[in-house]
Amino acid sequence: MAEARVSEDQDQLSCPVCLDLLKDPVATNCGHSFCMCRETFTPRPVLRRNYMLAAVVEKLKKTELQAASPVHCYAGPGDVECDFCTGRKHKAIKSCLVCLASFCETHIRPHYQSPAFKKHTLVKASSRLQEMFCSQHHEVFKIFCRTDQSFICYLCTMDEHKGHDTVSAAAERTKKQTELQEDQRKHQQRIQEKEKKVQELKQAVDTLKRSAQAAVEDSERIFTELICSIEKKRCEVRDLIRDQEKAELSRAEGLLDQLEQEIADLKRRDTELEQLSHTEDHVHFLQSFLSFCVSSGSVESYSISVHQQPSFDGVKKSLSDLKERIETFCKEEFSKISVVRGATECGVRSGMVL
């Protein structure tokens, strides 16, 4: 309520000439009040200092400092400053492409009230006004040259860009917007494909863990029945299985991290493209879009097959044979276990080729 009252009082106590709060107010015989100015008028009106109004204005200034929020009124980091404010700058709300200046809520009023500004083009406050103008002809960029892939003004089409393939910036924006939406669709499709492959890889990891655990349990059961003479061999076989599990898990986890990183990168680019699609600045949009096109690259999709499950049946069979043959064929059978282990490792690797 205090802020609304301050705003209302400030409107009533603003100078109709400079549009700011009255400074050293004086009154004419007709009753109108203005800031004391140094201009010469013929005939010069009789001006008298309005002490009562000056006291009200001074009181209003103090109330404004207490009631108004500096964050709301004044420009902060990242805000566009008003080019017409003196002293501490207020935050600009509009920029004029004709004046090449930005205005706060107070100083933008003439653009809405005076017919002299009727043909001026107002846009959202921007600190990039100079980038929207042709440095050669001092005209607004409204045309896009497809031949040179650059922004030009109307006068540029009559000299160095004469005969080039040119369209309006809005038309090029529409065309590139369609391409951007297609890129978004492809990115979203890639994300879905990567997420699907992540799920497949996780399932393969779970299967590997269950198979390895089952093999360990079977080997433990068989080896506990063997005599102490093959105790050393029991430990070696157990280590082989664990080493195989560790190696395959390490490979799978590396691939999982890689896929998740690719998904994060694709989501980040999708978010950037989504933000770019909503920008109002044609020039900024097209410049950013061109950089996106240059930096974007295709990510090779991985092919993951989870149908080939690692098998430890050969190990279990060999261990059963060891139990029957005991020490006599222990060395021979252990050599067979090593051969089977190598074949199993190759089978697991080929089932997870990426």
292 has a pLDDT exceeding 80: no
Domain identity same for 310 and 183: yes
Give residue 201's domain range: 173-351
User: CB neighbours of 201 closer than 8 A, spacing ≥ 6?
Assistant: 252, 255, 256, 259, 304, 306, 352
In angstroms, the first-to-last Cα distance of the chain is 65
How buried is 156 (Cβ within 10 angstroms: 0-12 exposed, 13-18 middle, 19+ buried)? buried
| Residue of 245, 260, 243 lying closest to 206 (CA atoms) | 245
The torsion angles phi and psi of 46, rounded to 5 degrees, stand at -80, 115
How far is C-alpha 124 from the chain's CA centre?
21
Number of domains in the chain: 4
Domain identity same for 225 and 342: yes
Structure tokens at 314: 């050969």
pLDDT (tens digit per residue) in 260-273: 898 898 888 888 88
The Cα 101–Cα 83 span in angstroms is 6
31 has a pLDDT exceeding 90: no
Between 25-34, 77-86, 173-182, 213-222, the lowest mean confidence (pLDDT) is in 25-34
Domain identity same for 158 and 182: no
Domain identity same for 287 and 320: yes
Domain identity same for 245 and 185: yes
pLDDT (tens digit per residue) in 38-95: 555 566 666 666 666 677 767 766 665 554 444 457 888 888 999 999 888 999 999 9
What pLDDT, on a 0 to 100 scale, did the predictor assign at position 265?
A: 87
Structure tokens at 335: 């050599």
Domain identity same for 48 and 88: no
Q: For the residues 246-258, what does the mean pLDDT come to?
A: 85
Domain identity same for 248 and 182: yes
Size of the chain, expressed as the number of residues it contains: 354
CATH code of the domain covering residue 7: 3.30.40.10
More confident position, 50 or 126: 126
What pLDDT, on a 0 to 100 scale, did the predictor assign at position 220?
A: 82
Domain identity same for 230 and 325: yes
The Cα 267–Cα 274 span in angstroms is 10
The Cα 165–Cα 183 span in angstroms is 24
Domain identity same for 76 and 49: no
Highest mean pLDDT of the ranges 38-47, 209-218, 342-351 = 209-218
Highest mean pLDDT of the ranges 251-255, 306-310, 341-345 = 251-255
Domain identity same for 192 and 299: yes
Domain identity same for 219 and 287: yes
